[in-house]
Each structure stands twice: as C-alpha cells, then as structure tokens.
Chains A and B, each alone.
Chain A
Amino acid sequence: MTSCTQVLNWLPCFVGDDLDVETASVVRAHLLDCVACRREAAALQQSTKALRSLREAGAPGVDDAAFASMHTAILAAVDRAEAETGRWSGWRLPRWLASAAAAVLLFGVGWHLMREDDAPWGDRRGFSVSFDHAGPAKAVPWSDGGHVQLRPLGDDGASDNADRDAEGTVGPGMMGRWRLRTLEEVGFLEDDVPLGVDLPVARPDAGAPRKVGASTKNVPGSGGR
C-alpha cells in the first residue's frame, strides 16, 4: 500500500490534475481509505479552487471599450518608439565605420607616444643622448630592493658592474637597455668616461641564481659553516 508520506507529496499536483493517470488512480485509492490524507486533499482542493475562481473574475473598468482604447494606446506607443528609433538611427554610425575609426585613432595615439619615447622603431633622426634625464636609478617591479638589474640585449651576464651602473642611469625597462646599447655604439661607456651618478650598489647575491650544490664556505657572512 502506498504510504501517506508519498501521497501527501503527490497531493498538490493531484488536486490540480497535474499527475499522470496511473499515479492519480493510486492517490485516489489511498484517499478512500485514509481520513487524514483525505482531509489534507480537501484543504488543498479548496484553496486551489479559490485560486482558480479568479479565472472568471474581471477587473473594475476593464471591458471591451477599455480594450479598444488600449489597442489604440499600444499602437501609438509603438509608433512613438519607432519614430524615436528612426530619429536616432540617422545619427548612428555603421558598425564597421565606427570600428575603423577607433582603430585609426588607437594607431595614431600609439604612434605619437612611440615617437615621444624615442622608440627604436620610431624615427631616429634627431635623437640625442642626454644625461639630463639621468637621475637616480628607479626601481622596476622586477628589480631587487631598488637596484636595477638590467642587462644589455644579447648580454649573457658577463657584463661588469660599470655596465650595470651605466645601464641604471639611463632608465628602467626596455628603453634603458636600448639606450645602453646606443651609448655603447657612440662610445660613451669607455672606462675613462665618468658617469657622474652614484648608484646604490647591488647586493652581490641579489638575483644571482645559486648553483645547486655550491659550497658556501667562501661566501662572506656565511660563517664558514
């Protein structure tokens, strides 16, 4: 026999005729024998019936004349919306044209910024190396504690501290590396050319990868252990 729990679970759908025929017949058979479930079904049926009574209920002031005027009002609202859309659509750029304009604008702005930054792919005429821009070394996000750890392009790490110091003065990042190469080309980085800028000395072990298994005996401060 079907349990009351199962039947009670089916009742909300049963009273609304939302169960399949087989399940509904099972519920109906159970209700014949079970007073508690029958009381529950009667209560659910009553409330559902009350809800469904709204099907036949109207609303004050809603009649055929109201619907006729509503039809007119809806079409007028649609006409207004259409006119509004049409008015604005005259000013709307085609999507491809807007995209092309945005691309040209971005390219122009980018080109302008590149030229100002003396990019290597920019126009090199008129470029001059000036130490006016050379200030204290700036920290870059990947530098270690304010010490610029930049290398000239193509350098395998064998450059000496003088190179690093000179590199630090000309600016961080890609531009710094590129300027360093330019300075080398024009001969500014000979040993006898004073740079005139004091840079913080990089820690000897900062950023240098330690070899696996290397002894620490000779490293100052390691305690010789």
Chain B
Amino acid sequence: MIQKPLHQKLSAAHLSRETTMRGLPTGLPSVVAELAGAAEISDAELVRRTLAGQHDPFAALVARYQKRAFWIAFHVVGRVEDARDVAQEAFVRLFRSLAKYDFSRSFYTWFYRIVMNLAIDYLRKIRSARAGNLDDVLGGLPDDREAIGSAPMEQQEQHGLVWAILEKLDAKFRSVLVLRDIHGMSCREIAPILRITHATARWRLHRGRQVFREHWERCHGRVEGARPASEAFEGGTEQ
C-alpha cells in the first residue's frame, strides 16, 4: 500500500483553509476530474503516468494546482493578467522539466518553486515600470483590483492599502509574507520553495512583518487621520 506523503496532507490542510482558492475547476472532462479528485492517486503517480505518455494525468495535475498557482502568482505580482501568464508559464515549464523530477522529493514544493521563481522574476522585471511613489498610489485608492461589489468600502480601502504596501516591499520579504500570511504555509515549507534555510525564512518573515507594519502605520494614519496607536492587543494570536 502506498503511504500518503506528508506534502499531500499539508496540501489538504492548505486547501481547507483557503476557501477562495480550493476546489477543482468546473467543466473538466470526467476522466480528468476523477484523476484530479482521487486522493489515493498521488502527484508523483500522475507525473509517472504523464511521463509514460498519457495526457489526462497532466491535465489532472493542472486541475489540482492551477488555482493555487494562480493565487500565489497573483499575490506576488499583483495583477490578474500577469498572474494568469505566470501560472500558464509555470505549467509549461513544469511539463518540459517533468523528466527531471526527483520522485523522492515533494512535488508541490518543486512546482511552487517554479511558480515563485517565475513570479519573482516577473515582479522584478515590471517593478521599475510600475513602482510609483506610494503617495501616488494612496491617492487612487481603492484601485480596480478590489472593486468587488460584495466587499464593504472600508474593507476595500484596507485591501487597497495592503496591496499598495506589498508593492513597496522588497521581493524577498513579499514572497515570504505572501506564502506565510496569505497562503498559510509554515516556514519549514517556505524554505525549500524559496531555496533558503529555515532560519533565513524566519528572519525574512520577522523583518518583513516589521517593514510592513511601518508602512501600514504611516499609510493607515494618513488615510484615517492621525489617531493614537491602539493598545488593544487581542491577547492571543489569530490565525
């Protein structure tokens, strides 16, 4: 009997938390949907079948990971179109390098590394063109990214502010914050994805939160007017 690998359990945990990112795409062919939804078929098995010349297992891999690939790319690059391009390119690269896959290692770490590398490269490439002054960004809030009718105006403003600050952050801090605070991965999972040590991942998270908080206080104070800092610490940690 094939034991379910650890990363499968972790992935399932992520899916249960990420309500907006879970589930398979609709309208899949029944064979692909069955393969993608079959918990007993591991990612490595799908890779094996793809390497054997079958097409449906790769379609199932795409179905399993496309949402998470898209959302990770989206939170790193910040634009829907760009995130779509990054996710698509990631799957093309995945397909081209399937033969190099090390079956002793976790598939999702490997694939997320491809996604993150592409997204960070993309971010660095376009950053100089997109990076305006933070003051200019704040003047235009909320931007079209958060123009979702169901969200209250205050929440839209908050999201706009968060995006504006994320855009100001260095890519190395942004990538760790996105993976940890938005996608809920642990530092132990983040480290191999970014090819850094666990200690480096923790330091970047630590420093990234500090930098984010500095920007947040500055921008939030300007948006809402100078209010005294709250002492209402909630006493515990929130997840």
Whether, in the assembled complex, A153 has its beta carbon less than 8 Å from a beta carbon of chain B, the answer is: no
The listed residue (B19, B88, B91, B229) touching A39 by CB distance below 8 A is B229
The smallest C-beta distance from A183 to any residue of chain B, in angstroms, reads: 62
Contact of A18 with B202 at beta-carbon distance under 8 Å, contacts A12-B210, A51-B181, A70-B87 already known: yes
Q: Is the CB of A57 within 8 A of B20?
A: yes
Give B49-84 as 1s and 0s: 1 = Cβ < 8 Å from A's Cβ atoms: 000000000110011001100100011000010001
Give residues of chain B (139-161) contacting chain A, Cβ–Cβ below 8 Å. Answer: 144-148, 151, 155, 158-159, 161
* CB contact under 8 A between A47 and B233, given known A54-B182, A70-B25: no
Bound complex: CA A38 to CA B20 (Å): 33
Contact B184 A55 (CB under 8 A): yes
Number of interface residues of B (CB under 8 A): 67
Q: Tell me the smallest distance from the CB of B62 to a CB of chain A, in Å.
A: 5
Which segment of B3-11, B104-112, B118-126, B212-220 sits at the interface? B212-220
Which chain A residues lie closer than 8 Å to B213 at the CB level?
Answer: 12, 43-44, 47-48
Contact (Cβ within 8 A) A85 B96: yes
Interface check B205, CB cutoff 8 A? yes
B12, CB-defined interface residue at 8 Å: no
- Per the 8 Å Cβ criterion, residues 181-203 of B in contact with A are 181-184, 187, 202
The count of A-to-B residue pairs whose CB atoms sit within 8 angstroms is 163
Q: Which residue of B lies closest to A9 (CB)?
A: B206
Residues of B within 8 A of A55 (CB): 17-18, 20, 182-184
Does the CB pair B80–A59 fall under 8 Å? yes
Inside 8 A of A112's CB, which chain B residues have their CB?
none
Query: Is A14 on the interface with B (CB-CB < 8 A)?
Result: yes
Contacts of A41 in B (CB 8 A): 233
| Cβ–Cβ contact A54 & B205, under 8 A | no
Could you tell me if B232 and A42 are in contact, using CB atoms closer than 8 angstroms? yes
Whether B91 and A50, one on each chain, are in contact in the complex, defined by CB atoms closer than 8 angstroms, is no
A1 CB–B CB distance under 8 Å: no
- B136 interfacial by beta-carbon distance below 8 Å: no
A81 / chain B contacts, CB cutoff of 8 Å:
92, 95-96
Q: Is B58 a contact of A78 with CB atoms below 8 Å?
A: yes
Decide: B63 and A60 in contact? CB cutoff 8 A.
no
Chain A hits for B31, CB < 8 A: none
Interface-forming stretch among A61-69, A139-147, A184-192, A196-204?
Answer: A61-69
14 CB-based A-B contacts, threshold 8 Å: A15-B209, A16-B181, A18-B205, A39-B231, A47-B209, A47-B216, A56-B20, A57-B20, A59-B145, A60-B145, A62-B74, A71-B66, A73-B84, A75-B58
Residues of B within 8 A of A (CB): 17-20, 25-28, 58-59, 62-63, 66-67, 70, 74-75, 80, 84, 87-89, 91-92, 95-96, 144-148, 151, 155, 158-159, 161-163, 166, 177, 180-184, 187, 202, 205-207, 209-210, 212-213, 216-217, 229-239
